[in-house]
């Protein structure tokens, strides 16, 4: 992985902390809208992490595959990810 590991780790730890908070909110029977807002915040962080990783994948792994003439596998991987994201 060529991504900024420090940044990715920080974001994932933030998301983990928010998920722990969400569990406490559910256990404490907190207001549904408050829980939903926190869920949206976690999803935004995870989307951000995924975007960062995919950008770096395109800029490094896919670029290298094109330079080596083995781009078809990387193209198929990206197409599969796009299909998953667009569901």
- What CATH number has the domain bearing residue 51? 1.20.58.1000
Count of domains observed in the chain? 1
The parent domain of residue 53 ranges over 5-85
pLDDT one-digit tens code per residue, 28-76: 999 999 999 999 999 999 999 999 999 999 999 999 999 999 899 999 9
Above 90 in pLDDT, residue 13? yes
Closest C-alpha among 6, 24, 16 to residue 42? 16
- The whole-number pLDDT of residue 3 equals 72
pTM, entire model: 0.84
Angle subtended by helix axes 71-85 and 32-57, to nearest 10: 170
Above 80 in pLDDT, residue 1? no
């Amino acid at each position: 992985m060529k991504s900024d590991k420090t940044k990715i780790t920080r974001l994932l730890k933030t998301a983990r902390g928010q998920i722990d908070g969400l569990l406490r909110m559910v256990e404490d029977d907190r207001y549904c809208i408050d829980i939903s807002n926190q869920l949206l915040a976690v999803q935004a962080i995870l989307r951000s992490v995924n975007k960062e990783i995919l950008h770096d994948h395109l800029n490094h792994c896919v670029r290298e595959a094109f330079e080596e003439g083995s781009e078809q596998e990387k193209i198929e991987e990206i197409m599969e990810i796009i299909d998953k994201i667009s569901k």
